Amino acid sequence: MLILASLTAVLIATFFTIRPGAAAALLNKAGYTLGWWTVDSGGTTFSEGDGYTLGFTSGQTDASLLEGGGYTLASGFWAGSAVTYRVYLPLAMRDWLGENWEQEPNGASTQANGPIASDQTYYGVMPAGDTNDYFYFDLSAAGSAELWLTHVPSGCNYDLVLRDVALGVAGYSANLGSADEHIQTGTLAAGRYYIQVYHNSAAGSAQEYHLRAVYP
């Protein structure tokens, strides 16, 4: 039951005294009128019945809806009955880390996500049965690259492999357990390179790993 009410209604009246000559001069101008208006004590938009829903707004101007020429004017705090009220529920997202999430399927080089941007962190998960995630980047000119794989979930063992366009190994890091992986290459030829995150353990995890690559 919702009861919105005011125990005191405020009535505001404003009186203007205009000399007859001034009023006549104003009325004689084309397109102008001199009319009366009021400030009312409110509306009863929510007056419903046995459910006892009463809405009241002290000091509200006349609530009405005016339309014409492609325009709509809804006056009053609640605009009479013209306003449709909507309730928007908050959006809660668990572990939201931005747009740099892996996109499945990416278990093969032909499905690799990318091109990933230099010096940005990307996120992925490897549940049980998911043994590979592939990403790629392109070198427009010869240069070196450095890669980091961090936040490997406890109890898991992920390896990091860098492969050239022919899938030959250009860099490899295979530390034990959930230790971070790191690759520092020498000079690489221009072209496409694939980053393989390899799940080298039976246990899967819903916790995200972090992957970052820096290249020219």
Amino acid symbol at 34: L
- Alpha-carbon span 135 to 120, nearest angstrom: 13
Amino acid symbol at 114: G
Instruction: Give domain 109-214's CATH architecture.
Output: Sandwich (2.60)
Q: Give CA separation, 121 vs 58, 83, 135, 171, 212, in Å.
A: 54, 45, 12, 19, 5
- Alpha-carbon span 213 to 173, nearest angstrom: 14
List of E strands, the chain = 64-68, 71-75, 120-126, 132-139, 146-150, 158-163, 169-173, 181-184, 191-199, 205-214
pTM: 0.57
User: Which pair of tokens denotes residue 197?
Assistant: 């995150």
Number of other CB atoms surrounding residue 104 within 10 Å: 12
Of residues 121 and 16, the one with the higher pLDDT is 121
- Alpha-carbon span 37 to 109, nearest angstrom: 74
Report domain extents, the chain. 1-87, 109-214
Please tell me the total number of residues recorded for the chain in this structure: 216
Q: In angstroms, how far is the first alpha carbon of the chain from the final one?
A: 64
Pairing of strands 169-173, 205-214: unpaired
Please, which pLDDT band fits residue 121 given cuts at 50, 70 and 90? very high
pLDDT digits (tens, 9 = 90+) for 6-62: 434 433 333 344 454 554 554 455 565 656 555 555 544 566 776 666 665 666 556
State yes or no: pLDDT of 113 exceeds 80: yes
Amino acid symbol at 129: G
Least confident of 78-82, 158-162, 170-174, 201-205: 78-82
Tokens 């668990």 belong to which residue? 94
What does residue 183 show for φ and ψ, rounded to 5 degrees?
-130, 130
Q: Give CA separation, 195 vs 80, 124, 191, 212, in Å.
A: 61, 13, 13, 10
- Alpha-carbon span 203 to 157, nearest angstrom: 9
Q: What is the pLDDT of residue 59?
A: 60
